[in-house]
Amino acid sequence: MPLRALGVFLAPAAAAAAAVLDCGDLPRYALARSRDFFSLRMYSLWYIIDNGADAVSVDAAWDIARLQRYVEKQGLKLVAGLYTHGHFDHIGGSVPGSPASPLPGATELHRAKVPLFLGAGDIDAATLQTKLGADTWRPLKEGDTLSVLGDELPILVIDSPGHTIGGVTFWLRGTGPGVRAECAEGMLLTGDTLFLKNVGRTDLPGGDSTTLLRSLSRLSATPEGVQVLPGHSYDAPPRRSTMGTVRSDCGMMRSAVAKFPPASLPPLPSHRIQTSSEEL
């Protein structure tokens, strides 16, 4: 299957998509945010990744119709919906404390027969949030490697609890010969575990500050050239950064490394390929 050029796109409410990263001979990454006012204020981010034929979404919520239009326009098939954690602004469903209608998200993908993947520890919360049965979700655990887009783009799962009990981070690392130096170490989709200069809150149900510090320290052990793509961008552009820069800019990550040195924690899993996501 031929691979297209890779690019990350920001899609502001009233502007055309603009490429902010080109990684050469790899599948494309499309980054978008909802037009919903609340989402714009939170700068919630979701991602589409494709290999020219198949696509996966990451933390798709708020504007599923837009995602589906994009996929259809590009002639793609959405083969998986990946979620970093089970909060409403990432998976949709009911808004805590609000009588508003449920937000679009995982429920709409399920209706479209798209398989859903989520950290095992967050499935109970996601079931309450979306009203989808627990068996709807395919549980993820540390070290799982998804090959839903083929062997050229393995998607490695890293447990990163602390913001939620079952939070996970996805590490995408292309293996083709045409990868540009800027993207040689891949991309880290961190959800609300790690932002570019800050981290997700731990005062919500399932949150724990000590656990989050451990997760941050482990993530800091990824190569300094890894492109970090967070679940929100509350700061001014750019909306991405390298791990080397985040280690310097994020005070909480510096504190995490000082308190829990990476060498004292379980090592990160390594990339490996499974023949099918059905094995998970």
Tens-digit pLDDT profile for residues 164-179:
999 999 998 876 655 6
31 occurs within a structural domain: yes
Establish if 270 belongs to a structural domain. no
CB 225 within 8 A of CB 180: no
* Residue 27 domain flag: yes
What pLDDT score was predicted for residue 187?
A: 87
Q: Is residue 275 part of a domain?
A: no
Where residue 63 falls among pLDDT bands split at 50, 70, 90? Answer: confident
Give the chain's end-to-end CA distance (angstroms, integer).
24
Question: Hey, what are 197's tokens?
Answer: 């200069």
DSSP string covering 152-183: TS-EEEEE--SSSTT-EEEEE---STTB-GGG
Q: Residue 272 has what pLDDT?
A: 61
The strand pair at 187-191 and 227-230 is best described as: parallel
In a domain, 62, yes or no: yes
Q: Which residue has the tokens 């996929």?
A: 71
State the CATH number of the domain containing residue 30: 3.60.15.10
- Confirm whether 244 is domain-assigned: yes
Residue 131 has phi, psi (to 5 degrees) of: 70, 10
Handedness of CA 152, 137, 191, 224 (dihedral sign): negative
φ/ψ region of 11 (left if φ > 0, alpha if ψ in -120 to 50, else beta) reads beta
Q: Is 90 within the bounds of a domain?
A: yes
Residue 47 confidence (pLDDT): 84
Q: Which residues of 161-200 are buried (b: 16+ CB within 10 A; e: fewer)?
A: bbbbbbbbbbbbbbeeeebeeebebbbbbbbbbbbbbbbb
pLDDT at residue 240, rounded to an integer: 79
Asked if pLDDT for residue 19 goes beyond 60, the answer is no
What's the structural domain count of the chain? 1
Closest-CA residue to 51 (of 171, 146, 152, 145): 152
Q: How confident is the model at residue 42 (pLDDT cuts 50, 70, 90)?
A: low
- Quote the strand ranges of 84-205, DSSP E: 116-119, 137-140, 145-146, 155-159, 168-172, 187-191
272 within domain boundaries: no
What is the average pLDDT value for the chain, to the nearest integer?
81
The number of beta carbons lying within 10 Å of the beta carbon of residue 111 is 10
CA distances from 143 to 73, 116, 184 (A): 34, 18, 20
Average pLDDT over residues 79-107: 87
Q: Which residue range is the domain that position 22 belongs to?
A: 5-265
| 105-121 residue pLDDT tens | 999 999 999 999 999 99
The pTM is what? 0.86
